[in-house]
Structure 1
């Protein structure tokens, strides 16, 4: 093989690998773990019940977003503010190898391990005997994972940050003492930051089909920042009270269609980055060495919930929930840059279900104890699961306490532990990404702490 041919493989391999890396960076959050970045829009009491019962409990302002039909039975204006912190943990056990089969250098840190805070605020007020209006600020989707750029799995992702903030307005209509309807609209703002390292030497070897270069010798860092200012969706629901002690609710939230746009940046040696400008000469996309535009379609899925609440007496209530999320709508993800299609990747997601049961026990007029258990099945699979979000099916255990400080003011504290256990991960990077491999398991779990203040006017 001539020197000119070797240079051509080096240039085209490096440039094409970086181009495809942009696509992987943008699509990785969706191809890893649907369940964990879909966040329950709950208050502290809801987390303590393992998210059972939805918003059917009396005067629960989360109904503004979760099921506006429940607002119709409120007996006065209610304001609620919740602060929640989620701390997932994921420790890898196994091996990473480069294109030549050698162990990848670096350490193996926990890419999570920090509490990530997010808010949930809602206000609802009856405007007549039959109509209640409300507004809310929620975070229905979010995640953060961050590894050291020198860790062993750096070629499969270093940092992922995704957050969707939704502002909603809704109305509940009381048809009679047994039945109500609710509808709402929402505007959702989403932003994402995704960083990766690319083994350009390994990519060149894989493209050439020969061991021409030393893998792990020419890492290039790729950073992608994209966002969508506002995308819109709708939701609706009903509540039925078949008896004085029972409530049954159903709610549906539409898919929110959105295309995130922004840019990518490349960091490395001037010689390596300079090769990117030659990509079109070798059949690759046009990439700007100083960075360029990037966009990806990232629709958040539709979901629906069936909730039940039974009030045994003035002290004890028990609730249950079954929630479905339409993750199978994620079949393919397409990356565009400067009007060009870089790649179209299959996802192969499956719809997911969450089941939970939990309740309240009122010890005194001031103190209430709460608990719940749940089962949350992940739609992710071994084909797409990676270190960015190495999710598995979760088993939920919630505990909490509520305190009625006065006639108008109350606060709640909730804790939830999520048992995940060992989740299998087995991937081979595409040749254009360096053809490195990972084989092992992630030992996962998560903790949630939530504090809520509620004021009834």
Structure 2
């Protein structure tokens, strides 16, 4: 029964756009600036980055788009010189934001986007297949928001998070030296949280500061575990059954500065604290209690740093660039193939072209994972990898 113990590790699934399993490239504009978005009034996506920014908008705005996220991971197992690579795969997180200034000083907004999630697939013959062959966790956040500007230099905002999560995970189970079975878990849940923020113009039209907060929440995934290729004598023990897992999502605090040295150029810097230490263990409860287990994780809190720049080449064309550093919360002793995370170095480019009330934005971000050695007994070895994010956003403004 304890051969199922590694299933629990799959719930920290895949390669994501920020360390751990966080995603913060919610629009093409954010992608092109490595998400240095906390301090400046930008667009309707303030709903996600800092709800206070909505109070700086002066008209109705709609943003809709999506991204193609392509992870690449490699493991060189301990004692080997041959690297094993993940299969090619694309995750397409969508985004939708609407903002409407409905009376003087007040703006309402709503967003639908994916704040957490990842996906990764290894070959069926992968050395670490008893830990993971496929893992996917996706979330969709419905985030209604209200912002208020009490003065011409101060903005505040807050929103509610209605977070829907779903997962699908798969691994092999060693039954004997000659026989392997398969396990697949699916589950869903809904959790509630909130986000809030403040922005202040320290020097009019030049220097702004921002502070934003997103609450912790927990997704208690409930679903089924199904088993395949199980020999007949074991089929009763490995029958389809219910499973429940509590997955903690971190709280975060973001600080930012935005500087506009000329009317055409804007520079931004962000620092975000992630409370990843909430993930100390994962408890997996099967309907058959003999399968239930607890997996240590021992993640650490981390600070993420981002720089962004935006330059208006003309009234119609704006270009962007960004860079960032995002240290991993995962210690060497719990680093396993379902989340081959390491410190990330980020670079990004982007642009927006506007025609009348319409605009089209594109952004590309490359994340390079530094080499990291795992001492986890289930799959020791050296991991490397990268992540490519290509985003597009269509905007409409009255």
Q: Tell me what 1:367 maps to.
A: 317
Distance 1:122 1:70, change over 3 A: same
Q: Tell me what 1:16 maps to.
A: 2
Partner of 2:92, secondary structure, is: strand
Matched residues in 2 for 1:186 and 1:417: separation?
28
Partner of 1:53, secondary structure, is: coil
Kindly provide the CA deviation profile for residues 45-72 of structure 1, in whole angstroms up to 9, marking residues without a partner as x: 11111211336243x1111122111111
Q: Tell me what 1:54 maps to.
A: 38
Does residue 290 (structure 1) correspond to residue 276 (structure 2)? The answer is no
Distance 1:455 1:324, change over 3 A: same
TM-score, scaled relative to structure 1: 0.82
Q: Tell me what 1:265 maps to.
A: 226
Q: Is the 8 A contact 1:167 1:187 kept in 2?
A: yes
Q: Tell me what 2:171 maps to.
A: 196
1:158-169 → structure 2 map (5 Å cutoff): 158-169=133-144
Does residue 186 (structure 1) correspond to residue 147 (structure 2)? The answer is no
Partner of 1:47, secondary structure, is: helix
299, 308, 325: which one pairs with 2:274? Answer: 325
Does residue 346 (structure 1) correspond to residue 346 (structure 2)? The answer is no
Partner of 2:103, secondary structure, is: coil
Q: Tell me what 2:181 maps to.
A: 220
Q: Size of the alignment, in residue pairs? A: 396
Q: Tell me what 2:19 maps to.
A: 35
Q: Is the 8 A contact 2:259 2:266 kept in 1?
A: yes
Matched residues in 1 for 2:232 and 2:366: separation?
49
Matched residues in 2 for 1:231 and 1:453: separation?
29
Q: Tell me what 1:84 maps to.
A: 67
Matched residues in 2 for 1:364 and 1:449: separation?
24
Q: Tell me what 2:345 maps to.
A: 395
Partner of 1:23, secondary structure, is: helix
Tell me by how many angstroms 1:222 deviates.
1.0
Stretches of structure 2 lacking an aligned partner (at least 5 in a row): none
1:126-141 → structure 2 map (5 Å cutoff): 126-141=101-116
Partner of 1:127, secondary structure, is: strand
Matched residues in 2 for 1:76 and 1:28: separation?
40
Q: Is the 8 A contact 2:39 2:209 kept in 1?
A: no
State the structure with more CA Rg: 1
Kindly provide the CA deviation profile for residues 323-382 of structure 1, in whole angstroms up to 9, marking residues without a partner as x: 111000111221112284822222111012111111111112211111111101110111
Tell me by how many angstroms 1:148 deviates.
2.2
TM-score, scaled relative to structure 2: 0.93
Does residue 233 (structure 1) correspond to residue 187 (structure 2)? The answer is no
1:297-308 → structure 2 map (5 Å cutoff): 297-308=246-257
Partner of 2:380, secondary structure, is: strand
Matched residues in 2 for 1:96 and 1:199: separation?
21
Distance 1:32 1:294, change over 3 A: farther
29, 49, 58: which one pairs with 1:45? Answer: 29
Kindly provide the CA deviation profile for residues 4-41 of structure 1, in whole angstroms up to 9, marking residues without a partner as x: xxxxxxxxxxx3323x344344x453999971521005
Tell me by how many angstroms 1:269 deviates.
3.7
Kindly provide the CA deviation profile for residues 143-173 of structure 1, in whole angstroms up to 9, marking residues without a partner as x: 1111222222211210101001100101001
424, 427, 443: which one pairs with 2:376? Answer: 427
* Structure with the bigger percentage of helix: 1
Distance 1:127 1:354, change over 3 A: same
Distance 1:95 1:122, change over 3 A: same
Stretches of structure 1 lacking an aligned partner (at least 5 in a row): 1-14, 98-102, 202-214, 278-288, 430-437
Q: Is the 8 A contact 2:373 2:383 kept in 1?
A: yes
Partner of 1:70, secondary structure, is: helix
Does residue 248 (structure 1) correspond to residue 223 (structure 2)? The answer is no
Q: Is the 8 A contact 2:77 2:83 kept in 1?
A: no
Q: Is the 8 A contact 2:18 2:326 kept in 1?
A: no
Partner of 1:390, secondary structure, is: coil
Tell me by how many angstroms 1:176 deviates.
0.4
Q: Is the 8 A contact 1:32 1:388 kept in 2?
A: no
Measured on the aligned residues, the alpha-carbon RMSD in Å equals: 2.3
